[in-house]
Structure formats: C-alpha cells, structure tokens
C-alpha cells in the first residue's frame, strides 16, 4: 500500500496531539502535516510561501471553527479549484450544527464527522477515518487522473 500524505487543519492543540497519536499508532502508511488556521491551509494546498515544497495531500482533515479563514471557506476554495477538487476532505469538528453539516455537504465535503468528547472515542474515530480513507477507498493520485 502506497503511503498517503494527510493534511490536518486544526487549531486545538489537544486535538492535534490526539489525532497525531492515533495516526502514528496505525499500521497504515501515512505522513501527516499540520496547519493551525484556514489561511495556512490554503497556502499549503497552493504550495505558497513556506509551504512551496510540501507534498499535495491525499486526504484533508478539516475543522470548521478555525482562525483567519473558517473550514467552510477552506472547503469552498478546495472544491472550486480544479487542481485541488479531487482531494477528499473530511470535516472533523466539534460542531454538530445542522447548518454546518448542510453547508459542508452543499460545498461537496466527502464526509462530516463530529468529534466525540471522550478521548477513547476520539482516538477510535480517527482510526476508523484512517482505515476507511486509506485502506478501503481508492484515492485519486492527482487532479488530471482519468
């Protein structure tokens, strides 16, 4: 199995730590990059500034509530860009708001996962997301695949 590069867009240090821990314990090959706000997420994805040499992620884990640009703005930008729209985006957030869920799907999120409050449940959710997206699903290799 080919390693998948994951971009985690999250501003909560505790959630970053737990997500990193869950992904490191996995047997599935992956690499992880973390950015802490929506502006840096878009800079990373467009390979601008300090992110110019970063690899294009095969999966984005995106929080809704982010500084500078929120997750909805980042998602809209990703899905409207022909060079990025092929990248699966998982909204991984504490928000269970029907408005956030509906807006995410209107903007073509691939799935929406509400973060569990309990640490064990959170770790299990990350493991399940990783297993599904890295083990079960065939991911595109680049925008012009076809």
The CATH number of the domain holding residue 59 is 3.40.50.2300
With respect to residue 122, please indicate whether it lies within any of the assigned structural domains: yes
Kindly report, residue by residue over 79-138, the tens digit of the pLDDT.
999 999 999 999 998 889 999 999 999 999 999 999 888 888 888 888 888 888 877 878
With respect to residue 144, please indicate whether it lies within any of the assigned structural domains: no
Residue 21, pLDDT > 50, answer yes
User: What pLDDT does residue 1 have?
Assistant: 58
Three-state SS at 64: coil
Kindly report, residue by residue over 56-67, the tens digit of the pLDDT.
999 999 999 999
Which residues are within 8 A (CB) of 80 and not within 5 positions of it... i.e. 6 or more apart? Answer: none
pTM higher than 0.75, yes or no? yes
> What domain count does the chain have?
1
With respect to residue 16, please indicate whether it lies within any of the assigned structural domains: yes
User: What pLDDT does residue 48 have?
Assistant: 95
**Phi, psi (degrees; rounded to nearest 5) at 73:** -65, -40
What is the share, in percent, of the chain residues with pLDDT greater than 70?
95
Distance CA 19, CA 122 (A): 8
Range of the domain at 81: 4-136
Taking alpha carbons only, the member of 55, 71, 54, 52 closest to residue 63 is 71
How far is the CA of 58 from the CAs of 27, 80, 96, 100, in angstroms? 17, 17, 25, 24
> Looking at residues 32-46, what average pLDDT do you find?
96
With respect to residue 142, please indicate whether it lies within any of the assigned structural domains: no
Taking alpha carbons only, the member of 143, 31, 19, 10 closest to residue 81 is 143
User: What pLDDT does residue 8 have?
Assistant: 96
Residue 143, pLDDT > 90, answer no
With respect to residue 146, please indicate whether it lies within any of the assigned structural domains: no
């Amino acid at each position: 199995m080919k390693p998948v590069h994951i971009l985690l867009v999250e501003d909560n240090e505790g959630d970053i730590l737990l997500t990193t821990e869950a992904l490191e314990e996995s047997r599935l090959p992956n690499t992880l990059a973390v950015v802490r706000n929506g502006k840096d997420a878009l800079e990373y994805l467009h390979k601008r500034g300090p992110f110019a040499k970063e690899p294009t992620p095969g999966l984005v884990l995106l929080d809704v509530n982010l500084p500078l640009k929120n997750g909805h703005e980042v998602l809209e930008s990703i899905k409207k860009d022909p060079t990025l729209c092929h990248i699966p985006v998982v909204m991984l957030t504490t928000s269970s708001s029907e408005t956030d869920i509906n807006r995410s799907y209107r903007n073509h999120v691939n799935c929406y996962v509400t973060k569990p409050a309990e640490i064990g449940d959170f770790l299990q959710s990350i493991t399940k997301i990783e297993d599904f997206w890295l083990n079960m699903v065939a991911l595109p290799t680049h925008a012009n695949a076809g």
